[in-house]
Amino acid sequence: MITFQDYEKAENRTKWVQDAIISYRNGADYKKAVEEAEYMAGRNVTIMNVMRVIYNMAGLPETDFTKNNAKIRNRLIHRLVKQRCSYSLGNGLSFNDKIKTVKDGKTVSIDRIKEELGGKFDRKIYKAAYWALSNGTSFLYVHKGHKKPDWQYDLFKKTDFLPLYDEKTGDLRGGIRFWSLDWGKRPIMATLYLEEGYYEYETPENKKGVRSLEQVGDLHKYIEIVGESEAYGEEVIGTEEVSRLPIFPLNSGENKDSALDNMKPKIDEYDMIFSGFANDLHDIPQIYWLISGGGGMNEGDKRQLLDRLILQHMAVVDGENTKIQGFTQEVPYEARERCLKQLKNQIYEDWGGFDVHTVEAGATNDHIDAGYQPMDEEADDFEYEIIDLVQAILEFVGEVKDGKVDTPTFKRNKVSNQNEQTQMVMLAAQYLDDRTILEKMPWISVDEVDDILARRDVETMGRFENQEDEEEDEEEEELEGGEG
């Protein structure tokens, strides 16, 4: 483990950064993160290294090149992680701080905090959640670009970021991000992030390897004020201090377990059984013949006999005691199919996932909700981690009101009997306001609610104006009739 205190003890910062990157890339955490990334991409590392062997006369294993060696890999673990992310974040986050504004000549209600955080906020939170579940922890770097006034978000994964935790408090005090298009052959870049700013490093064009990293420039501040003039063009004219390290960790849960920690044995076994079934289909002959009393046949006679059996489906042999008997083979199927199904069910159950194939047509919402119960319990825990992350970001960007920060709300993305749910909402409509009714509708997304309410206000106002015009016309007709 490399900590923030290790950095404080370093005498040569550049050399320490080089040593830290090398040590981290050779460590168990990095190698585990690389393996997890392979599994998430559908590349099962275990089955890719499986070789079919045969034992020789001395009892030693040798690679059996005569056997089929299919390596079928599934992406079930990616599917489950994606499902949990989409369940909580598929509809984006929303906040309670709504304001009225004029947009395209219409008065609409907008989410003020979402507008402040920028249009990429939901997308980056989703990606951070995906890799938090995949690796146990992911990191979100929040900053403002030199030219863009909006908040920007960069995702750091365990495969390219070394976190520096405080040994006493456990807080994240810094970190090193490193990357290269082709490690060892292309230039390597690295950035050391500290609370007071960051240092940049890169390898010169004529050198390669981490040991060649050199510092580029001095300490950079996280927020720089850029000015522009005709004489000098764009230049940094000032900086702003930040309240903390602008890198925010997102954990998968209290134990920081990755999806692979609990499911790897089952995923490996599933792929092994599936691949073994495919190998047996290839290796076992569908039909073979046993010839009795054909000891006097040479290899040419046997080859000719086999060709006639395959092409003409019949053959004649010499000799009174010579017989041909055909046999067929079937690959054991039912036991493997039952095992694969049980493994898949166990994976979904352990993860708390929802298998849509278990939902029968016409199922009521009570049955569907019962199927979602394990997923709801797991989502509750993970959403608390997301809330802590978002509130820390809100505090960092200054979205504090009366000493408090807003709590994001989730609209879970789930399968439902929409007709039944719509009927339930309409039965309670007399007790609900228009916004709540629309938000509870399963077929209306959160982003559509404000536009629908705005258009409805315009239509209501139009009907009201038409009604006033009709009443004025009626009054004028009555007056004209009275005068007549």
pLDDT tens-digit readout, 344-365: 989 988 898 888 776 665 566 6
Question: Does residue 94 belong to any structural domain of this protein?
Answer: yes
199 shares a domain with 51:
yes
Give residue 420's pLDDT. 64
Q: How far out from the chain centre does Cα 364 lie?
A: 30
Q: 3-class SS at 327?
A: strand
216 and 300 part of one domain: no
Are the C-beta atoms of 190 and 208 separated by less than 8 Å? no
The pLDDT score that the predictor gives to residue 110 is: 80
Report whether 142 contacts 223 (CB < 8 A): no
Residue 293 and residue 146 in one domain: no
Based on the number of CB atoms within 10 Å of its own CB, is 346 exposed (0-12), middle (13-18) or buried (19 or more)? middle
Does 313 lie in the same domain as 235?
Answer: no
Q: Do both 73 and 193 map to the same domain?
A: yes
The confidence score (pLDDT) of residue 280 equals: 74
The answer, as to whether pTM is greater than 0.75, is: yes
In this prediction, residue 64 carries a pLDDT of 67
- Say if residue 60 is in the same domain as residue 143: yes
Residues 6+ apart with CB under 8 A from 96: 406, 407, 409
**Any domain includes 168:** yes
Task: Enter the DSSP assignment of 1.
Answer: -
Average pLDDT of the chain to the nearest whole number: 83
- 458 in a structural domain: yes
Q: Are residues 223 and 290 in the same domain?
A: no
The whole-number pLDDT of residue 105 equals 66
Q: Let me know whether 105 and 206 are in one domain.
A: yes
Q: Among the three residues 251, 277, 310, which one is the final residue of a domain in this structure?
A: 251
Are both 65 and 170 inside the same structural domain? yes
Residue 220 counted as domain residue: yes
Weakly modelled stretches of the chain, pLDDT under 70: 52-53, 64, 66, 102-108, 145-149, 224-240, 283, 285-286, 288, 293-296, 318-321, 327, 329, 358-367, 415-418, 420, 447, 462, 464-466, 468-484
Is 170 a member of any domain?
yes
Q: Does residue 261 fall inside a structural domain?
A: no
The pLDDT value given to residue 256? 93
Among 270, 296, 330, the domain boundary falls at 330
99 and 169 together in one domain = yes
Domain with 29 in it = 4-251
Residues 74, 169 within the same domain: yes
- Please report whether residue 16 resides in a domain: yes
The number of distinct structural domains making up the chain is: 3
Confirm whether 25 is domain-assigned: yes
Whether residues 179 and 229 share a domain: the answer is yes
Please list, in sequence order, all residues whose beta carbon lies within 8 angstroms of the beta carbon of residue 417, skipping any fewer than 6 positions away: 363, 364, 365, 368
Query: Which secondary structure element, helix H or strand E, spans residue 332, and what is its range?
Result: none
> End-to-end alpha-carbon separation of the chain, Å?
100
Q: In 3D, which of 36, 86, 92 has the Cα closest to residue 356?
A: 86
Last residue of a domain, one of 251, 271, 303: 251
